Structure 1
């Protein structure tokens, strides 16, 4: 029944958010409505709402499921955006994932849920 999900995260700075999502994560900026930003990359959409108080807009995050996680991980490492505590690894629940924290403090887990061998990273 369910087909798709669109995360809605906080944006503390319009210009920095647009730069991060387009230049670092490789998304296309598609729409803005009163500070509400919409980005897309392939079949993934991310929305960000304007927030002026970091204390009110914290602890937000999402999972993005991808293929070729190793290639994306290597690319994001060269850009220096992989979180130091979120390196690529196989999680106990079976996902291979890594983490990026955007310019607003939102954590974005990037995961490949295909079956992986325990020895894989």
Structure 2
């Protein structure tokens, strides 16, 4: 397997977690795990992902709150709900156009 395969999801894509009830919009991608060993070991062993895959930074939300999440590719799936992401930082990074999240950094006017 190619250690640095390309990411399955894109910046601006809305995704949800396979096991936990949260969703969010991707704002950054790491080609492989880029946090501390302690962080990785804090993930429950039965769902602990491998480090050699893309990891995504999300403006995430669940029913109670909004936060930043760091999630492995294997634990994400596309969110098809069409519901907007309410995280307060979304507007700083993205413009929303026809339900799509477009990065303000790369946006051409």
TM over 0.5: no
What is the TM-score with the length of structure 1 in the denominator? 0.26
What is the TM-score with the length of structure 2 in the denominator? 0.28
Larger RCO, structures 1/2 (Cα 8 Å, 6+ apart)? 2
